[in-house]
């Protein structure tokens, strides 16, 4: 079974940076798009960023625009999230997702592969 695995989470101070990585274990996924979602305590899981290989576009939530950068390698089913100028409100479990079908970049249900999540904690 193909699985996505995230890494790079941790504890940082406000204003610091982290770089999250996500890669497929086993065989690569011929994905249309990959993305990052996050879930803070007591909150619903929300869209953070996505990269659409087919459309050649990247997308960001307004809350992270200008601070986070998504990049990746479609051939390796790998995606990264460079997180700069981190804020306490960025604290959440970050999930990597991929889809090998058409869909909407922001819609969680359109993704059909998911990672286990990695914790990001930003202290004030």
CB 2 within 8 A of CB 29: yes
**CA 119 – CA 44 distance, rounded (Å):** 15
**CA 26 – CA 2 distance, rounded (Å):** 6
Per-residue pLDDT tens over the stretch 33-83: 999 999 999 999 999 999 998 888 999 999 999 999 999 988 888 999 999
Say which DSSP state 42 is in.
Answer: T
**CA 69 – CA 67 distance, rounded (Å):** 7
Per-residue pLDDT tens over the stretch 90-118: 999 999 999 999 999 999 999 999 999 99
């Amino acid at each position: 079974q193909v699985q996505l695995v995230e890494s790079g989470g941790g504890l940082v101070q406000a204003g610091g940076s982290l770089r999250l990585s996500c890669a497929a274990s086993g065989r690569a996924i011929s994905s249309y798009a990959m993305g990052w979602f996050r879930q803070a305590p007591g909150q619903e899981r929300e869209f953070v960023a996505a990269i659409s290989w087919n459309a050649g576009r990247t997308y960001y939530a307004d809350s992270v625009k200008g601070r986070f950068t998504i990049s990746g390698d479609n051939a390796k089913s790998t995606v990264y999230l460079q997180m700069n100028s981190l804020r306490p409100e960025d604290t959440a479990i970050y999930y990597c997702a991929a889809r090998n079908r058409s869909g909407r970049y922001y819609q969680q249900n359109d993704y059909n592969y998911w990672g286990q999540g990695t914790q990001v904690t930003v202290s004030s």
